[in-house]
């Protein structure tokens, strides 16, 4: 009793990953998969011609290389294909056998038996479809050349066949890019003028493949961790020392709100710098990028305050936060009242917090305007652009890490599926830690040297401190310059310990 053939009709869900529309090689490579075994062989052209003639002789059909064409011939004259198989064993090898058996189209041997598909043949299907993945790969170009030849032959276009055969032989004989390019262009022109893919078959193929399990392209960490890094640890120490010296002097001459904000921010920035470097030493890229984003945020706000040089901004920076705290306390009272508590009882529960807020503020919290959202009308990214476009770039890049944008999720929380029969998609990774490389360390240090110079300028500090920081900045730029390629990546993996 013959097995029921898998129909090419599929449900909607199978269209996952299908690019229907223009001549998409991604879909066409599926339609032309039967040509892959021929294209993989050096004598593929001779074998293709022999196959065409054999099919025509024993079935009367003209095989144009596509799965749809094969399906028609197979439906019309299955017995003829048994002889074709005996005459063309190389074509029925590996991938072909796997593909035909996926759709229960396997051709019997002369003795009447139909060999099943082996795991090795399925693996070969995966391997070859992977090789044909790119429309410019050697295998895909050869598949196009064979397709052009078989199409011309199936239309009995003799002159065209001769030309297509010449082109195909040239493609098989050389890796010359011009020869390959001209065949690809011809194929594209032919496809644009004739029918499209058999959507049902391509979708069915995709669906069958989706039933196979996913694999994982496992992440390989860099050879070494980005921190500590020869030449940079010394610069980081100089930055830390300068910060410490600056914080040792309380600078009572600076107006109160300014002093609070400047020195508080500096302590925070120093702590965050340490955390970026510590996360990099663990090669924990996710943490390094998130700490970098907070560091950048604080640096932008502080530098913008220094740049604007307006005492009212410093006051607003503090009061905005405290006003929100007051708002939060008042909301608690509202909620408590909703439970049936009296206003007095509710207030008695938060009185101590309210009094503490008044003490921190130095005035009654009622005097504050509650403004929702960020403390300044100007966005942080616009502040960054005002200070230094470089800073704006870092801010934007680091922001998506803390917001969990797609870049960050793809980089830290997913692996690519390794099954070449699946459309390109991701799977949860088996390991966790992934490197962010040297970039967070470098950008954190660059920002800190620039910030320290800005603070020195603002508080009117000159002399040795400035000279030391200018030297640290110069050394940092020299280190970067020596290891940065023209397209912006760093060769830090090879820095000797």
What residues between 233 and 252 interact with Zn ion by CB under 5 A?
A: none
Nearer to Zn ion by Cβ, of 141 and 415: the residue is 415
> Which residue from 417, 444, 452, 469 is in contact with Zn ion, where contact means CB under 5 A?
417
Give the count of residues interacting with Zn ion (CB under 5 A). 4
Min dist. Cβ of residue 187 to Zn ion (A)? 29
Q: Based on CB atoms, which residue is closest to Zn ion, 376 or 419?
A: 419
Burial of residue 260 (CB within 10 Å: 0-12, 13-18, 19+) is middle
Positive/negative CA dihedral, 458, 461, 463, 467:
negative
Identify which of 295, 255, 252, 297 has the alpha carbon closest to the alpha carbon of residue 275. 295
DSSP 33: G
Which residue from 43, 24, 37 is spatially nearest to 91, judged by alpha carbons?
37
Distance CA 365, CA 6 (A): 75
Question: Which residue, 192 or 424, has its beta carbon nearer to Zn ion?
Answer: 424
**Contact flag: residue 106 with Zn ion (CB under 5 A):** no
User: Which one of 151, 419, 443, 447 is in contact with Zn ion (CB under 5 A)?
Assistant: 419
Instruction: Output 211 or 248, the one with its CB closest to Zn ion.
Output: 211
Q: Does 66 interact with Zn ion (rule: CB under 5 A)? A: no
Q: Site for Zn ion (CB under 5 A): which residue of 153, 303, 422, 434?
A: 422
- For the bound state, the minimum distance from the C-beta of residue 430 to Zn ion, rounded and expressed in Å, comes to 14
CB 450, min distance to Zn ion, A: 45
Nearer to Zn ion, 126 or 270 (CB): 126
Name which position in 90, 214, 333, 480 contacts Zn ion (CB under 5 A): 214
Q: Determine the 3-state secondary structure of 484 from DSSP.
A: strand
* CA neighbor of 287 nearest in space, from 489, 432, 431: 432
Alpha helices (runs of H) in 155-284, residue ranges in sequence order? 158-173, 177-193, 199-210, 233-248, 256-281
Specify the residue, 16 or 396, whose C-beta has the smaller distance to Zn ion: 16
Q: Is 9 left (phi over 0), alpha (psi -120 to 50) or beta?
A: beta
Pick the closer one to Zn ion by CB: 132 or 261: 132
Which region among 375-383, 418-426, 462-470, 480-488 touches Zn ion (by CB under 5 A)? 418-426
Min. distance of Cβ 435 from Zn ion in angstroms?
24
CA dist 291 and 436 (Å) reads: 12
Given the rule CB under 5 A, which residues bind Zn ion? 214, 417, 419, 422
């Amino acid at each position: 009793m013959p097995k029921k053939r898998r129909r090419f009709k599929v449900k909607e869900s199978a269209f996952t990953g299908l690019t229907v529309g223009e001549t998409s090689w991604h879909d066409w490579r599926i339609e032309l998969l039967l040509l892959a075994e021929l294209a993989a062989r050096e004598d593929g052209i001779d074998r293709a011609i022999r196959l065409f003639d054999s099919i025509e002789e024993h079935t009367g059909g003209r095989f144009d290389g596509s799965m749809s064409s094969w399906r028609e011939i197979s439906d019309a004259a299955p017995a003829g294909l048994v002889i074709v198989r005996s005459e063309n064993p190389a074509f029925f090898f590996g991938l072909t056998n796997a593909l035909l058996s996926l759709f229960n189209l396997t051709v019997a041997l002369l003795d009447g038996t139909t060999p099943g598909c082996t795991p090795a043949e399925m693996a070969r299907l995966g391997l070859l479809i992977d090789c044909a993945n790119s429309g410019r790969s050697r295998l895909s170009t050869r598949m196009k050349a064979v397709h052009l030849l078989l199409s011309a032959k199936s239309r009995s276009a003799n002159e065209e066949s001769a030309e297509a055969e010449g082109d195909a032989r040239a493609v098989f004989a050389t890796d010359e890019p011009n020869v390959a390019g001209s065949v690809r262009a011809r194929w594209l022109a032919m496809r644009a003028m004739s029918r499209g893919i058999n959507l049902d078959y391509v979708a069915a193929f995709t669906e069958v493949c989706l039933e196979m399990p996913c694999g994982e392209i496992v992440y390989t960490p860099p050879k070494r961790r980005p921190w500590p890094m020869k030449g940079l640890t010394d610069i980081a120490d100089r930055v830390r020392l300068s910060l410490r010296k600056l914080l040792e002097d309380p600078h009572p001459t600076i107006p109160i709100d300014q002093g609070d904000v400047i020195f508080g921010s500096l302590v925070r920035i120093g702590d965050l710098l340490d955390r970026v470097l510590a996360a990099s030493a663990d090669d924990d890229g996710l943490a390094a990028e998130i700490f970098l984003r907070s560091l950048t945020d604080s640096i932008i706000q502080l530098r913008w305050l220094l740049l604007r040089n307006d005492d009212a901004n410093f006051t607003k920076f503090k009061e905005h936060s405290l006003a929100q705290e007051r708002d939060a306390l008042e909301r608690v009272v509202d909620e408590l009242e909703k439970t049936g508590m009296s206003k007095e009882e509710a207030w008695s529960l938060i009185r101590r917090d309210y009094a503490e807020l008044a003490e921190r503020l130095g005035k009654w919290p009622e005097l504050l305007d509650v403004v929702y959202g960020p403390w300044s009308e100007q966005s942080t990214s616009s502040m960054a652009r005002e200070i230094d476009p470089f800073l704006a770039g870092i801010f934007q890049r680091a922001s998506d890490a803390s917001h969990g944008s797609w870049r960050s999720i793809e980089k830290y929380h997913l692996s690519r599926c390794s099954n070449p029969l699946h459309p390109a998609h991701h799977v949860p990774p088996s390991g966790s830690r992934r490197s962010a490389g040297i970039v967070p360390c470098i950008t954190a240090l660059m920002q800190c040297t620039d910030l320290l110079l800005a603070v020195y300028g603002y508080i009117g500090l000159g002399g040795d401190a400035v000279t030391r920081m200018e030297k640290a900045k110069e050394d940092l730029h020299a280190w970067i310059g020596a290891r940065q390629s023209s397209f912006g990546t760093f060769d830090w993996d090879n820095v000797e310990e």
